[in-house]
Chain A
Amino acid sequence: MGILDLTALELGRKIKAKEISAVEAVQAVLEQTKKAEPAVHAYVSYDEESALKRAEEVQKKIDDGTLTGPLAGVPVAVKDNICTKGYKTTCSSRILENFVPTYAAQAVENLIAAGVVIIGKTNMDEFAMGSTTETSAFGPTKNPWNQEHVPGGSSGGSAAAVAAGECFMALGSDTGGSIRQPSSFCGITGMKPTYGTISRYGLIAYGSSLDQIGPMAKDVSDCAALLEASASYDKKDSTSIERDEYDFTSALVDDVKGMKIGIPKDYFGEGLDPEVREAVMAAARTLEKKGAVVEEFDLGLVDYAIPAYYVIASAEASSNLSRFDGIKYGYRAKGAEGLHDMYKKTRSGGFGPEVKRRIMLGSFVLSSGYYDAYYLKALRTKALIKQEFDKAFASYDLILGPAAPTTAPKLGESLSDPIKMYLGDIYTISANLAGLPGISVPCGKDSKGLPIGLQLLGDCFQEKKLIRAAYAFEQTRTYEAPEIVKGGVQ
């Protein structure tokens, strides 16, 4: 068994046992990255030299006993909208092409303290706006399972990097499904925690009230460990929530006896691929066999989540992205005549079409005369959706469904029709509106050999229930890596 076949926690244990050094682990990942990147393009940038240097430092600290955590020495990738101090953070946008933050996101600080080695920054849809990683200004990421297909998005680079063995685990961010959907498309496990669990400080905002950083990894255990290492109550983020406990790995228990799982009928209607449906229903039966009580129910308001989401996310984005103006950092257009011309040329040249589309929509729905009809209406809808979930969680511990209606589409298929692309987020988006935690776990493959993801949603602060059920389900399967990893470095 080669280094790349290990999970992050297995690797961490072997590093601690001195069977593998942190440097060897990083070397293995870098070699695989060099091999896979031309086909996958998971990274916006990675830095071999600094990764190796960091691995040496970490190894020293492991040796002298200052670093003892389970992830010490593990190579990790970070989505390129999460600030890394002294290291380029671009949001896959031309407007931030050369931006080097002088501060790190709190989640990154936490991971560094846990002793991980950051390999590089992963590709994404520009400013996390998209579901395919095709809106990146630096070219699309390809699905490691089949390079004619997208990896999903917006955290497509992180998902692909994990699946292709270019790192052991990665941080993504999820505003409407951007962790869970690419995890599903790439056959890995990804989790969006309860809003406020991982600090947003240093996460470059898209929709502030919906954005949440989360872990992406090969399995549920790694995911729980990465969540545990990244989460913290952060006084720099006013929306950070002080949790009673952060020991998420304690929920890695193979037991779902008596757990009540609801399946929303509305999630299995029109638009759902039959193969996805079959795999997800099979997963539900598996959990039932293991002792869970599974039943169907009416969730309601499912169709209203996407329009509400696009109003809220676009409105917040139009304001959040106004700071990119060519003055303090990033791209500035040359040859502008005067201030306003500079603003316009910079922003028009620096942002891609999808970002501009959402900024325009967001500016419009907030503009004079439309605020009530669109923005407040969307916030009211959000309140009703939250009520629906409250009702559901009064009866069920978890909600089970697909992470996405289909497996990964081919490159170029989705962008032509934005509404159709947005509809792909139908199962994931409401968790962001209601602040809920959700996890996507691989549950099979379609006839084309593309992975299918099972999504579990929990009530706010019920990550442990999610982890337990996902872990129990995972015990019935074995992790499968795509070809690009097999035959990799031994």
Chain B
Amino acid sequence: MANHISDETIEYVGILAKLELSGEEKEQAKKDMESMLDYVDKLNELDTDGVEPMSHVFPVNNVFREDIVTNGDDREEILANAPERKDGAFVVPKTVE
């Protein structure tokens, strides 16, 4: 056991999760993740060979919508919570250099 999480890993996961951690937070995150993973490693005691991973508890399938337009123009409602809007659109920092 005893997982080791490197600085690079924390940096990398931060990029994936879009979280920016301070130096102190990073150290804490490393420790937290190490102890969580040590704990999770308990699962390795279990022999799960041949066991189908279970995403859904119930065998429900084929839940469909018919292809019929049910929504109208709700633009005002959709934009109502936007931190910044312009010309009926959401504003984001420029996405091209």
Contacts and interface: CB of A to CB of B under 8 A. Distances in A.
A304 B42 contact: yes
Interface string B47-80: 0100111111110100101000000001001101
A209 B55 contact: yes
Given A363-B17, A383-B54, A384-B51, A328 B82 contact: yes
Interface stretch (A173-181, A336-344, A392-400): A336-344
Contacts, number: 163
Interface string B1-30: 000000001101110111111000100110
Contacts of A378: 40, 43
A99 B16 contact: no
B42 A345 contact: no
B88 interface: no
B36 A418 contact: yes
Contacts of A94: none
B93 A419 contact: no
Interface of A is mostly: helix
Interface residues of B, number: 51
B69 to A, nearest CB: 16
Interface residues of A, number: 71
Interface stretch (A161-169, A215-223, A245-253, A306-314): A306-314
Interface stretch (A17-25, A118-126, A352-360): A352-360
A360 B82 CA distance: 26
A326 interface: yes
Contacts of A338: 93-94
**Residue in B25, B39, B83, B95 whose Cβ sees the most chain A Cβ within 10 Å:** B83
A359 B74 CA distance: 32
A257 to B, nearest CB: 31
A347 B44 CA distance: 33
Contacts of A297: none
A112 interface: no
A383 B13 contact: no
A327 interface: yes
A56 B93 CA distance: 47
B54 A238 contact: no
Interface string A316-327: 001000100111
A343 B36 CA distance: 26
A241 B58 CA distance: 9
Nearest to A461: B58
A339 B93 contact: yes
Contacts of B54: 379-380, 382-383, 386
Nearest to B40: A307
B13 A374 contact: no
B51 A383 contact: yes
Given A360-B14, A361-B33, A386-B54, A348 B21 contact: yes
Contact of A241 (B36, B52, B60): B60
Contact of A418 (B32, B40, B84): B32
Contacts of A381: 43, 46, 48
Given A332-B84, A345-B20, A327 B90 contact: yes
B19 to A, nearest CB: 5
Interface in A217-263: 235, 238-239, 241
17 contacts: A195-B57, A235-B65, A241-B58, A310-B40, A327-B92, A329-B81, A332-B83, A344-B14, A347-B18, A348-B21, A359-B19, A360-B32, A361-B36, A364-B13, A381-B48, A384-B51, A435-B58
The 3 nearest A-B residue pairs measured at CB: A379-B53, A435-B57, A329-B81
Interface of B: 9-10, 12-14, 16-21, 25, 28-29, 32-33, 35-36, 39-46, 48, 51-58, 60, 63, 65, 74, 77-78, 80-84, 90, 92-95
